[in-house]
Structure 1
Amino acid sequence: MRLRWFPFGLAMLLAAAGLTGGLHPAAADDHDDKRHDAVRRAVEAGEIRSLADIIADVRDKLPGDIAGVEIEREKGRWLYEFRVIDKRGRLFEVYIDARDGTIQRVKEK
């Protein structure tokens, strides 16, 4: 499987920054910093695995190429949300537990 680094890198920057639409720029900066810090602390504390580790473990299990990644907190746990495009051009969202790297669900968009 081949990673598309430019879109992937751009998506990682956006995900790490936690960019969201509709917020006032000053409020967005505060929110972004807090989210980024929370993710960094979780990785450093061993609560979640780094994105590099997760990709290494799940790369061969994904239904296509990674087009983007976000991280979110859902019901008290961290999930990596991978956007994946298969060879036929179908888009999937793959949710992966950030703590143990297990695929939680796959949803075709």
Structure 2
Amino acid sequence: MTPRRLLLLTAVPLASAALVLAATLHTLPSYADDDDHVRARLLRERGEIMSLEQIAGRARAIRAGKLIDIELERKHGAWRYEVELLDPEGRVWEIDLDARTGEVLKLERDD
């Protein structure tokens, strides 16, 4: 077997496998995002959490400003929304709200 043929028999399959692996790893975060959206929708439909619109309104009622980010996460066995808001003076606030009731769990300036 010639060195060129040996190279083709080993390098091409390895390169192909690396490309397939890279493509698979690249798509994993999008599946996680899809799962998060599905989970949030199911929790909302079951009445376990408030809607995003309700939480956004609640956060704006607590602190005036522009919403920067809203995340739903589970901490200490309960769902909570972590809201980041930019106030008119340019300060960033973090507001943690109970996802079921909208109760304020934390309100602090995010320095």
Fold conserved between structures, TM > 0.5: yes
Give the 3-state SS of the residue equivalent to 2:48 in structure 1.
Answer: coil
8 Å Cα contact 2:68/2:86 also seen in 1 = yes
5+ residue gaps, structure 1, are 1-23
Aligned-pair CA distance for 1:63? 4.7
Question: Per-residue deviation at 1:68?
Answer: 2.3
1:29-63 deviations in Å (ceiling 9; x for gaps)? 22222222111110000000101122334422125
| Larger RCO (CA within 8 A; separation ≥ 6) | 1
Match of 1:10 in 2: none
* 1:76-91 aligned within 5 A: 76-91=77-92
Q: Hey, which bits of structure 1, 4+ residues long, moved more than 4 A?
A: none
Distance 1:85 1:32 in 2: 25
TM-score under structure 1 normalisation? 0.68
Alignment-derived partner of residue 103 in structure 1: 104
State the alpha-carbon separation in 1 of the partners of residues 102 and 70 from structure 2: 14
Q: Equivalent residue for 2:35?
A: 34
Mapping of residues 4-83 of structure 1, within 5 Å: 24-83=25-84
Identity %: 33
Which structure shows the higher helix fraction?
Answer: 2
CA distance in 1, matches of 2:104, 2:79: 12
Per the alignment, residue 92 of structure 1 pairs with: 93
Q: What TM-score do you get using the length of structure 2 for normalisation? A: 0.67
Instruction: List alignment gaps of at least 5 residues for structure 2.
Output: 1-24
Please tell me the residue identity of whatever aligns with 1:65: K
Q: Which has the larger Rg?
A: 2
**After the TM superposition, which of the residue ranges 94-103 and 58-67 deviates more from structure 2?**
58-67
